[in-house]
Amino acid sequence: MSNDTEHTTSTPTAWLRVLEWFCPAYLYEGIEGDLLEQYDEDRATVGNKTANRRLRWNVIRFFRPGILLRNRFSIRLIKGYMLLNYFKIMIRSMAKRKVYSAINIFGLTMGISFALLIGIFIAGELQTNQQLTSVDRLYLMRSNNLEAANQVPLFSPSPLARLIKEEYPTLVENFYRCSDRNITISKDDKHFRVQSLIGDSTFLSMFGFPLLHGNVGTALNEPRSIVVTAKIARQYFDRTDVVGEMLTLATEKNGNQQYTVTGVLEDWKPNTVTNLRDMNAQVFLPIHSLKDFNGFDPEAWTGVQMISYIRKTPVASEDAIIEAFTSLLKNKAPANAQSNLKMAIDGLDDYHLVSDNGLKKKLVMTLSIIAIFILLLAVINFINITIGNSNVRLKEIGVRKAIGGIREQVTTQFLSESLVMTFVATALSLGLYELLRTYAGNIVGTSLLSVIEFPVSYWLFIGVVMLATGIAAGIYPAFFLASYKTLESLKGKLKAGKGNIALSRSLISIQFLLAIGVFTAAIIITQQVSYFLEKDLGYDKSMVLTVSSVPRDWTPEGFNRMDAAKLQFQQVPSVQSVSLSWDIPNGNFGVVAELYRQGKQPEEGVGMPILMADEDYRDTYQFNMLAGTFFQPKGQVQQPDDMVINESAQKALQVQVGDKVQLKGVPIAFRVVGVMKDFNFFSLHQQVKPLVFMNTRNNLFPAFRYFSFRLQPGNIAQSVEDVEQRWKEVFPNDPFEYAFMDQNLEKLYKTEIQMKKAAGFATVLMLLIVLLGVLGLASQSVTRRTREIGIRKVLGASVSNVLVLIAREFIWLITVALLVAIPLTYYFVEQWLSAFAYRIDLQWWMFVLPGILVFTIVLLVVSGQSLKAALSNPVESLRIE
């Protein structure tokens, strides 16, 4: 540019570029010229080096407000009146094509509503336990016994938690130990069985449970004090400020006792402490109450097991705590208590999600994936319909561009359209959410927050999802439409866009794929759940009524009273047989022990559950015996050392009827009197395992919890009423809390049943969205080919020819989707099913049926759309110009 090569070679142009960057363009040349002139002069007089320095310094000095503020900040803002115009045009074009607009908004609303329901559910699940005071430092202790399975991991030797706090104050700050008990609590004529926790006085302060009434520090200090939830307070007193009131508790060791209410808890969201294993504890007793119920000393080592929580100090590491446990067990515990015991701790902050092999986590993940799928489906519909419809808007775009609209403006216009649509859909979704939340809450087994109760963070999240959906739905059509050349768009002709049709097709194939996949999964989950509920378990579960509110008086008098009660119940005509037991086949069991045949070494013992029942148990549940009898025949004197074992136990112990069996660490020997055929006493997630029955009147641990009634076939409601009537006469002070065996079993498969319902719901929703998409696409393709159809008809095509013409492209797409869906779904459901010991076999129809169904429905919709075109007079369609 310059002839004056003298300085262009050596000028520090970098500095001038800095100047150019902050200096307003219209001033730049004059300033730069002055600087260069000065620079040349300086070089002549004071030399290059100084000249350079002076130039730099001068440039820096130009960085001043007098120069900077002369910049005209030119950000291209889209003017308000343009936005108003966009909005107006949008409303007009939506009104012009009502069906498509409705499909778009409806689809988006469906997708967002479902995502919202699932999102709120997941948020609730993730927040479980988060209200507990410093939950990141709370741990549940777990004990593993390396040698035998006789340790229930949830229960730990009770002195451990206290000892670690006392011996290692730098590691552990606080502890809470508890024992769960189901207690009959009475006030005047109100009797209810209430789940309780008996434990340390640290309960309130350690977890930060807020009290409505009462003193957090002292509420659980005094013996025979009781803290109740607001729900229980209302149940007994119809109000919540009940501190000082008395409640009567039916204790197991000391008969009826008066307890004083010392605190009322706010009703709290489910958390791992009060709702461990879904126990839903409602009343809390001080540790002294162990004397009234369990009858053990929490500071003794042997035989005492409690659920134990600890809170570590901020500096302690988990490893250090486990080491401390190991050395405590070694140094403080008596030799027989510490054998092979190894402690572990599970953090409470994610316990809810990861316990039970991450069952909840799996549910949360599955649901999130389904929600994303459904949202994706809606977004795909939106993209397909917008692109398919774009020829209508092309002229508008052409005009906009011709009169000076720039590309970014067109992009903004279409993006803002999709954002507005998403906004409307979100608003509708919130309404729909409010309508559906009770129903959906029932499916997943929690209550979902009302929209009014959403915290700010939820709204932020909803905002983010809304923006993301709007942008995802709008970005491709926006850029695609804006990129059209002005002239072409003015002509209003959509380029024979192979790319677009390919995109639309692959998007709709993805829709088919997802819909067929979820449909198949739903069928298989449903099949597995019905298999769970209908499989022959080896006993007859129908018509069995179980009552859990049996007064727990385990003294000989208590047993005699139960015998009398049984006779009373036998007289009810609709009762076929009645049995008293500690266990019912609902997946729970109380005692595990190691057994070995008499004469063998205790070390050869095999761990197995010990169940307790009376001699009528077999008549009530109707399982088969391989050999011997189920205890002594009815009417004869029962022997406390009789034992009945199942087939697996017989194999494991290698015993016959008449052999003697010993429990590890117990001096009494038991005599095998019968061998049962294996049956599924526990959940079908596991194989049948060895188990043994002791008589409820054994000498080791005589106890009972349940009455089981086998009812005569007939009017069940009447039968239940008869039993209840008799119950009230026999046990006037105890509630009648019953469940049918089928219901108990359903609880066992709760998560699977939830999944089944959610998958069914999702399938319906997805099919609906896919149908909407197909409807939109089919009618577009019919419109696009109106003339083609006309010509074909003129040339002699029949109506069915035309139908095939339109349907062909969808048939092809579904076939492709089905071919991809089958192996994918197969892989995932196989993974899911492999977790169950008893599972259905996958059959070909489970994969083909969804395909055929989707196929048929799509075909119907497409035919409906194309029939109109096929039937119309070709003269009409050809006249359109």
Task: Choose between 62 and 832: whose C-beta lies nearer to other proteins.
Answer: 62
Site for other proteins in 237-296 (CB under 8 A): none
CA distance 134 to 314: 10
Q: Which helix (DSSP H) or strand (DSSP E) does residue 250 occupy?
A: strand 246-250
Residue 125's identity, in one-letter code, is E
Residues in the chain: 881
At its nearest, how many Å lie between other proteins and the CB of residue 39?
9
Tell me which stretch binds other proteins (CB under 8 A): 26-34, 168-176, 352-360, 819-827.
26-34
Task: Choose between 61 and 498: whose C-beta lies nearer to other proteins.
Answer: 61
Q: Is 463 in the site for other proteins (CB under 8 A)?
A: no
Task: Choose between 3 and 601: whose C-beta lies nearer to other proteins.
Answer: 3
At its nearest, how many Å lie between other proteins and the CB of residue 49?
19
At its nearest, how many Å lie between other proteins and the CB of residue 58?
6
At its nearest, how many Å lie between other proteins and the CB of residue 15?
13
Sign of the alpha-carbon dihedral angle for 251, 254, 259, 264: negative
Cβ within 8 Å of residue 473, ≥6 positions away:
108, 378, 379, 382, 383, 386, 418, 421, 422
The interface mask with other proteins, positions 569-608, x = CB under 8 A, is: ----------------------------------------
At its nearest, how many Å lie between other proteins and the CB of residue 63?
8
Task: Choose between 67 and 669: whose C-beta lies nearer to other proteins.
Answer: 67
Task: Choose between 7 and 291: whose C-beta lies nearer to other proteins.
Answer: 7
Q: Count of residues binding other proteins (CB under 8 A)?
A: 26
Residue 545's identity, in one-letter code, is L
Q: Is 4 in the site for other proteins (CB under 8 A)?
A: yes
Tell me which stretch binds other proteins (CB under 8 A): 6-14, 200-208, 313-321, 795-803.
6-14
At its nearest, how many Å lie between other proteins and the CB of residue 9?
11
At its nearest, how many Å lie between other proteins and the CB of residue 40?
7
At its nearest, how many Å lie between other proteins and the CB of residue 75?
23
Task: Choose between 35 and 814: whose C-beta lies nearer to other proteins.
Answer: 35
The interface mask with other proteins, positions 29-68, x = CB under 8 A, is: xxxxxxxxxx-x-----------------x--xx-x-xx-
Classified as helix, coil or strand, 173 is strand
Q: What's the token pair of residue 836?
A: 């169950």
Which residues, listed in sequence order, are joined to residue 182 by a DSSP beta bridge?
195
The interface mask with other proteins, positions 477-506, x = CB under 8 A, is: ------------------------------
Among 17, 27, 408, 868, binds other proteins (CB under 8 A): 27
Classified as helix, coil or strand, 687 is coil
Site for other proteins in 724-743 (CB under 8 A): none
Task: Choose between 27 and 402: whose C-beta lies nearer to other proteins.
Answer: 27
Query: How many beta carbons lie within 10 A of that of residue 787, not counting itself?
Result: 14
At its nearest, how many Å lie between other proteins and the CB of residue 64?
6
CA distance 833 to 530: 14
Site for other proteins in 194-223 (CB under 8 A): none
Place of tokens 């869906």: 821
Tell me which stretch binds other proteins (CB under 8 A): 24-32, 313-321, 343-351, 385-393.
24-32
Pairing of strands 305-312, 155-157: antiparallel
DSSP string for residues in 440-473? HHHHHTSPPPPGGG--HHHHHHHHHHHHHHHHHH
Site for other proteins in 508-567 (CB under 8 A): none
Write the CA distances from 346 to 105, 132, 140, 313, integer angstroms: 46, 15, 5, 15
Task: Choose between 54 and 600: whose C-beta lies nearer to other proteins.
Answer: 54
> Of the candidates 105, 772, 114, which has an alpha carbon nearest to the alpha carbon of residue 421?
105
Task: Choose between 36 and 372: whose C-beta lies nearer to other proteins.
Answer: 36
Tell me which stretch binds other proteins (CB under 8 A): 23-31, 349-357, 381-389, 462-470.
23-31
CA distance 808 to 803: 8
CA distance 34 to 56: 13
Tell me which stretch binds other proteins (CB under 8 A): 4-12, 556-564, 769-777, 801-809.
4-12
Query: How many beta carbons lie within 10 A of that of residue 768, not counting itself?
Result: 16
Q: Is 18 in the site for other proteins (CB under 8 A)?
A: no
At its nearest, how many Å lie between other proteins and the CB of residue 76?
26
CA distance 443 to 447: 10
Task: Choose between 38 and 632: whose C-beta lies nearer to other proteins.
Answer: 38
Q: What's the token pair of residue 235?
A: 């149940």
Residue 348's identity, in one-letter code, is L
CA distance 766 to 512: 9
Measured in degrees and rounded to the nearest 5, phi and psi for residue 612 equal -130, 130
At its nearest, how many Å lie between other proteins and the CB of residue 123?
57
Task: Say how many CA atoms lie within 13 Å of 686 toward its Cβ.
Answer: 9
CA distance 420 to 154: 53
Among 17, 49, 70, 808, binds other proteins (CB under 8 A): 70
CA distance 630 to 644: 6
Q: What's the token pair of residue 654?
A: 């290698």
Task: Choose between 66 and 635: whose C-beta lies nearer to other proteins.
Answer: 66
At its nearest, how many Å lie between other proteins and the CB of residue 17?
14
Q: Which helix (DSSP H) or strand (DSSP E) does residue 625 occupy?
A: strand 625-628
Q: What is the DSSP letter of 477?
A: H
At its nearest, how many Å lie between other proteins and the CB of residue 51?
14
- Longest Cα–Cα distance of the chain, Å, equals 130
User: Residue 654 — left, alpha, or beta (φ > 0 → left; ψ -120 to 50 → alpha)?
Assistant: left
**676 neighbors 630 (Cβ within 8 angstroms):** yes
Task: Choose between 1 and 452: whose C-beta lies nearer to other proteins.
Answer: 1
Task: Choose between 30 and 556: whose C-beta lies nearer to other proteins.
Answer: 30
At its nearest, how many Å lie between other proteins and the CB of residue 89?
43
Q: Is 7 in the site for other proteins (CB under 8 A)?
A: yes
At its nearest, how many Å lie between other proteins and the CB of residue 379?
53
Among 2, 9, 74, 336, binds other proteins (CB under 8 A): 2
Task: Choose between 52 and 305: whose C-beta lies nearer to other proteins.
Answer: 52
> Of the candidates 223, 354, 208, which has an alpha carbon nearest to the alpha carbon of residue 287?
223
Q: Is 635 in the site for other proteins (CB under 8 A)?
A: no
At its nearest, how many Å lie between other proteins and the CB of residue 389?
53
* Chain centroid offset of residue 417 CA: 34
CA distance 256 to 234: 22
Q: What is the DSSP letter of 682?
A: S
Task: Choose between 54 and 332: whose C-beta lies nearer to other proteins.
Answer: 54
Task: Choose between 8 and 560: whose C-beta lies nearer to other proteins.
Answer: 8
Task: Choose between 23 and 108: whose C-beta lies nearer to other proteins.
Answer: 23
Task: Choose between 37 and 788: whose C-beta lies nearer to other proteins.
Answer: 37
Q: What's the token pair of residue 25?
A: 């363009």
At its nearest, how many Å lie between other proteins and the CB of residue 45?
12
Write the burial class of residue 412 (CB in 10 Å: 0-12 exposed, 13-18 middle, 19+ buried): buried
Q: How far apart are the first and last CA of the chain?
A: 59
At its nearest, how many Å lie between other proteins and the CB of residue 1?
6
> What is the contact surface with other proteins in residues (CB under 8 A)?
1-4, 7-8, 11, 27, 29-38, 40, 58, 61-62, 64, 66-67, 70
